């Protein structure tokens, strides 16, 4: 049996998701709505409140802008959580969390995901990894869908003291669960549609910096079979990707250089020069587009 917790800001979306869950989950469940249409709570606080009200052992935290596309997905969850070593399960995540400031999705081939993803700019949807099945071990998952036993949540909780907004709660909770020795899984047997993309702005960046300050002594974190070469490649790709974000959001040159030279996993003069050249290209491109 499953307790579903939703931090809700839109009653129409919530009602549609509630109906969808009732039609697809396939097992006994409860839905706990934390009404946050006035933005009273950060998502960590909302989720802790919701989990404290849950009647069932398995907790499932879901964004309200999704729709489940396969039936009996509740039975799938119960099957995977028969293994008491599993502490967290999602439908998107990564096998590596960089030392470099960035999100879980910066990890290139180490990203694991199955989803139907919408777009901000059109009504088109993209099926990502649609034919995949089974699950893969990861170190962190995306907050769009997070399932965890109530026992594990009580050991871990969402860190509403550090993270007071709507970002990085998933990364933080994932690494906390992984650090306690539990398995973190991305499951390909649950297929859902996500109607929107995430919002990555200055608030996201500020919360990401808080997250990295909290975890800086332990990053990077990965599953066991990731080679040093792969890690170095992912770290530098993340730095380049973050430069695009920083330039497009008008951060000063000092912040761009800090991105390159701080939290460095492995020094490379050549890579540093490439990133500096990338700053010039991005600034030129951004000035043309504006």
Let me know: does 139 contact 221? Beta carbons within 8 Å. Answer: yes
Residue linked to tokens 């009504």: 123
Extract the tokens encoding 125: 């949807």
Q: What angle do CA 32, 94, 49 make, to 5 degrees?
A: 20
Model confidence band, residue 288 (pLDDT cutoffs 50, 70, 90)? confident
| pLDDT reported for residue 171 | 98
Rounded CA-CA distance 198/186 in Å is 19
pLDDT tens sequence across 221-245: 999 999 999 999 999 999 999 999 9
Residue 165 has pLDDT above 90, yes or no: yes
Range 2-223 has CATH code 3.90.550.10: yes
pLDDT score of 120: 60
Taking the C-alpha atoms of residue 180 and residue 183, their distance in angstroms, rounded to an integer, is 9
Average pLDDT over residues 160-178: 97
Q: Are strands 96-97 and 221-222 parallel, antiparallel or unpaired?
A: antiparallel
CB neighbourhood size of 166 (10 A):
21
Which of 48, 114, 42 lies closest to 76 in space, CA to CA? Answer: 114
Name the residue with tokens 């995306």.
142
pLDDT at 290: 65
CA torsion 270→276→281→282, rounded to 10°?
120
CA 236 from centre of chain: 20
pLDDT of the residue at 238: 95
Count the alpha carbons within 13 Å of 159 in the hemisphere toward its beta carbon: 18
Q: What is the mean pLDDT of the chain?
A: 94
Cβ–Cβ < 8 Å for 88, 184: yes
In contact, 139 and 231? CB cutoff 8 Å: no
pLDDT of residue 107: 82
Q: What's the rounded Cα separation, in Å, for the pair 156 and 171?
A: 13
Inter-residue contact 245 to 255 (CB < 8 Å): no
The sign one gets for the Cα dihedral 154, 158, 161, 162 is positive
pLDDT on residue 5: 98
Digit-coded pLDDT (tens) for 75-123: 999 999 999 999 999 999 999 999 999 999 888 889 999 999 886 665 7
Q: How confident is the model at residue 214 (pLDDT cuts 50, 70, 90)?
A: very high
Cβ proximity of 90 and 115 under 8 Å: no
In the prediction, which pLDDT does 199 show? Answer: 77
CA 168, CA 244: separation in Å to the nearest integer?
20
pLDDT in tens, 137-160: 999 999 999 999 999 999 999 999
d(CA 47, CA 32): 10
| DSSP 8-state class, residue 53 | T
Q: Do 157 and 169 meet the contact criterion of CB atoms below 8 Å apart?
A: no
- What is the residue extent of each domain of the chain? 2-223, 227-290
Q: What is the pLDDT of residues 10-40, one digit of tens each?
A: 999 999 999 999 999 999 999 999 999 998 9
pLDDT value, residue 122: 59
Question: Average pLDDT of 156-179?
Answer: 97
Alpha carbon of residue 254 to chain centroid:
28
Within 10 A of 263 (CB to CB), how many other CB atoms are there?
A: 19
- Whether residue 200 is predicted with pLDDT greater than 80 in this model: the reply is yes
Run of H or E residues at 3 = strand 2-8
Average pLDDT over residues 120-133: 81
Q: Is the pTM of this model over 0.85?
A: yes
Residue 267, pLDDT above cutoff 80: yes
């Amino acid at each position: 049996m499953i307790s579903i917790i939703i931090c809700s800001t839109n009653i129409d979306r919530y009602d549609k998701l509630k109906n969808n869950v009732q039609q697809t989950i396939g097992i006994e469940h409860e839905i706990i709505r934390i009404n946050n249409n006035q933005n009273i709570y950060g998502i960590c606080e909302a989720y802790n409140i919701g989990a404290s009200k849950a009647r069932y052992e398995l907790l499932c935290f879901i964004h309200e802008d999704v729709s489940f596309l396969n039936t009996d997905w509740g039975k799938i969850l119960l099957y995977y959580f028969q293994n008491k070593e599993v502490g967290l399960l999602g439908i998107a995540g990564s096998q590596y969390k960089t030392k470099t400031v960035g999100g879980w999705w910066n990890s290139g081939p180490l990203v694991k995901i199955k989803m139907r993803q919408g777009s901000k700019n059109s009504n088109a949807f993209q099926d990502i990894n649609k034919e995949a099945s089974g699950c893969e071990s990861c170190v962190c998952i995306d907050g769009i869908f997070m399932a965890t036993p109530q026992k594990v949540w009580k050991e871990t909780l969402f860190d509403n003291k550090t993270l007071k907004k709507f970002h990085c709660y998933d990364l933080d909770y994932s690494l906390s669960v992984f650090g306690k020795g539990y398995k973190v899984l991305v499951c390909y047997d649950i297929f859902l549609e996500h109607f929107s993309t995430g919002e990555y702005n200055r608030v996201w960046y500020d919360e990401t910096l808080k997250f990295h300050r909290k975890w800086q002594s332990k990053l990077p974190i990965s599953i066991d079979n990731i080679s040093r070469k792969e890690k170095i490649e992912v770290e530098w790709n993340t730095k380049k990707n973050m430069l695009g974000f920083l330039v497009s959001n008008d951060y000063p040159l000092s912040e761009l250089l800090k991105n390159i030279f701080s939290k460095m996993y492995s020094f490379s003069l050549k890579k540093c020069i490439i990133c500096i050249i990338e700053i010039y290209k991005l600034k030129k491109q951004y000035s043309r587009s504006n």
